[in-house]
């Protein structure tokens, strides 16, 4: 397999964690998002979505981090990244989507660029925007984790799931932008539990071949 | 089952379509997003995520439209909303996420409010922002649909899937905001095929009990 990734892309980091948890080997192919390499050939010709991560498995191209991770979980079931029970699966997926749909899309590089370049939003306001969505979004995740007996050492029980895989990269982004995190103690406890595992720590942005 | 929904919420509309495709009956409980009812008791006490849609199945509360739809597909398998093959499932999920993660979060009511109220973006710029993400996002979906032999009468093959369930509500939003749609002919052909089905047409916003 080849993973087209950018070290700071949190969606790419999600897939790196999933591959590591499943102990799957792959070639790392860097795509430099700040240089817009995803919009230019050869990448743009290979991927009509023009987004990283992109996973190449044989001749097959897979996009969208959550779809890639579900695919890996279906084709390499051990260790499972989703629980077996439908209600528990729904809880894990909802926690992942609370970040993947409610926080991360608002703080994407292309979105921040549009705010500054097209809407002429100031640097200060852009940073305020960034922190607002991270801090309020993580607050909603914290309420759900703190309130539920299903929360364990990790977001769901005592083994890492898709929910943790999406949570950890978001915390990296939050720290990079100096977001408040003292209001989400359960989130941070789970973050620390994840970072004690090689699958999370050895795939982090600064450990990537293209880190700069 | 009870579905907590707002007629104009496109994430709620996704779940209404899925329930209709599976011929499942439910009570419709309106939550008025413009009046911020989702942030106030009793809804906020019931749902720590404070988002619609919320599905109540017995004593269980489920949030996040895509997680709810996967749950319905796992607990009521017929008709299937995802294909059986892992690669095909990944394609359908990726198409759904191309809208659910790349377009819809940017044009949410709360995001538009933040742009206007907090960042003091003008009404014109807010509308430009809205159309930008819809038009460029649908363009990416169009490239993937038009390029693939897996596209059929619907986004994947000849029966409706999760990809169509997410696509149709986004087109409703696009039309409401006068977005360009002439550059996405495959998307619009599939939209028309969906709207010929009762599951899509009888659950549309204007058909909801709380439509105004």
Residues A61 and A104 in one domain: no
Percent of chain A with pLDDT over 70: 100
The CATH number for B149's domain is 1.20.1050.10
Task: Using alpha carbons, list the distances in angstroms from residue A129 to A22, A71, A116, A125, B16.
Answer: 36, 33, 11, 6, 32
- The pTM (predicted TM-score) of the whole model is 0.97
> SS3 for B26?
coil
Chain B: closest CA distance from residue A164 (Å)? 16
- Share the mean pLDDT of chain B: 96
Residues A118 and A177 in one domain: yes
In a domain, B204, yes or no: no
pLDDT tier at A212 (50, 70, 90 boundaries)? confident
Chain B: closest CA distance from residue A195 (Å)? 25
Residue B167 has pLDDT above 90, yes or no: yes
Chain A: closest CA distance from residue B88 (Å)? 9
Residues B101 and B34 in one domain: no
Helices and strands per DSSP (H, E), number in chain B? 9, 4
Cβ-defined contact of A89 to B71 (cutoff 8 Å): yes
Residues A121 and A150 in one domain: yes
Task: Using alpha carbons, list the distances in angstroms from residue B128 to B132, B138, B173, B201.
Answer: 6, 15, 14, 28
In a domain, B178, yes or no: yes
Q: How far apart are CA B20 and CA A185, in angstroms?
A: 40
In a domain, A32, yes or no: yes
For the segment B53-64, what is each residue's pLDDT rounded down to a tens digit?
999 999 999 999
Residues A190 and A124 in one domain: yes
Name the A residues in 73-112 with CB < 8 Å from any B CB: 74-75, 86-87, 89-91, 93-94, 97-98, 100-102, 104-106, 111
Residues B93 and B189 in one domain: yes
Closest partner residue to A105 (CB to CB) among B50, B105, B132 is: B105
The CATH number for A36's domain is 3.40.30.10
Nearest-by-CA chain B residue for A107: B106
In a domain, B16, yes or no: yes
Residues B55 and B94 in one domain: no
Residues A92 and A189 in one domain: yes
Cβ-defined contact of B89 to A70 (cutoff 8 Å): yes
For A28, the enclosing helix (H) or strand (E) is: strand A27-30
Which of B79, B98, B126 represents a domain boundary (last residue)? Answer: B79
Cis peptide before B42 (omega within 30 of 0): yes
Are A103 and A133 in contact by the 8 Å Cβ rule? The answer is yes
Average pLDDT rounded to a whole number, residues B13-29 = 98
Nearest-by-CA chain B residue for A95: B64
Chain B: closest CA distance from residue A67 (Å)? 5
Residues B93 and B152 in one domain: yes
Closest partner residue to B63 (CB to CB) among A64, A94, A119 is: A94
pLDDT tier at A195 (50, 70, 90 boundaries)? very high
Chain B: closest CA distance from residue A141 (Å)? 7
Which of A45, A79, A113 represents a domain boundary (last residue)? Answer: A79
Name the A residues in 122-161 with CB < 8 Å from any B CB: 125, 128-129, 132, 140, 143-144, 147
Quote the ipTM score: 0.97
| Domain of residue A13, residue span | 2-79
Which strands make up the sheet holding B2-5, listed edge to edge? B27-30, B2-5, B54-57, B60-63
Are B145 and B190 in contact by the 8 Å Cβ rule? The answer is yes
For the segment B91-115, what is each residue's pLDDT rounded down to a tens digit?
999 999 999 999 999 998 899 999 9
Residues B27 and B114 in one domain: no
Tally of domains in chain A: 2
Residue B205 has pLDDT above 90, yes or no: yes
Cβ-defined contact of A104 to B100 (cutoff 8 Å): no
Closest partner residue to A147 (CB to CB) among B48, B102, B106 is: B48
Average pLDDT rounded to a whole number, residues A59-79 = 97
In a domain, B208, yes or no: no
Cβ-defined contact of B121 to A118 (cutoff 8 Å): no
Cβ-defined contact of B106 to A105 (cutoff 8 Å): yes
């Amino acid at each position: 397999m080849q993973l087209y990734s950018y070290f700071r892309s949190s969606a790419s980091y999600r897939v790196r964690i999933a591959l590591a948890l499943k102990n799957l080997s792959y070639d790392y192919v860097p795509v430099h998002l700040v240089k817009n390499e995803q919009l230019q050939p050869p990448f743009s010709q290979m991927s009509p979505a023009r987004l990283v991560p992109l996973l190449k498995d044989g001749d097959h191209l897979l996009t969208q981090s959550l779809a890639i991770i579900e695919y890996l979980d279906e084709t390499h079931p051990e260790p499972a990244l989703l629980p077996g029970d439908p209600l528990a699966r729904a809880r894990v997926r909802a926690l992942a989507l609370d970040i993947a749909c409610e926080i991360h899309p608002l703080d994407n590089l292309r979105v921040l660029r549009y705010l500054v370049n097209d809407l002429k939003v100031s640097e200060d306001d852009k940073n305020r925007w960034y922190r607002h969505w991270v801090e309020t979004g993580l607050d909603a995740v914290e309420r759900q984790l703190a309130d539920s007996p299903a929360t364990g050492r990790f977001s769901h029980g005592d083994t890492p799931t898709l929910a943790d895989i999406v949570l950890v990269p978001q915390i990296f982004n939050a720290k990079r932008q100096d977001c408040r995190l003292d209001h989400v103690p359960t989130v941070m406890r789970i973050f620390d539990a994840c970072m004690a595992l090689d699958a999370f720590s050895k795939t982090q942005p600064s450990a990537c071949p293209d880190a700069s």
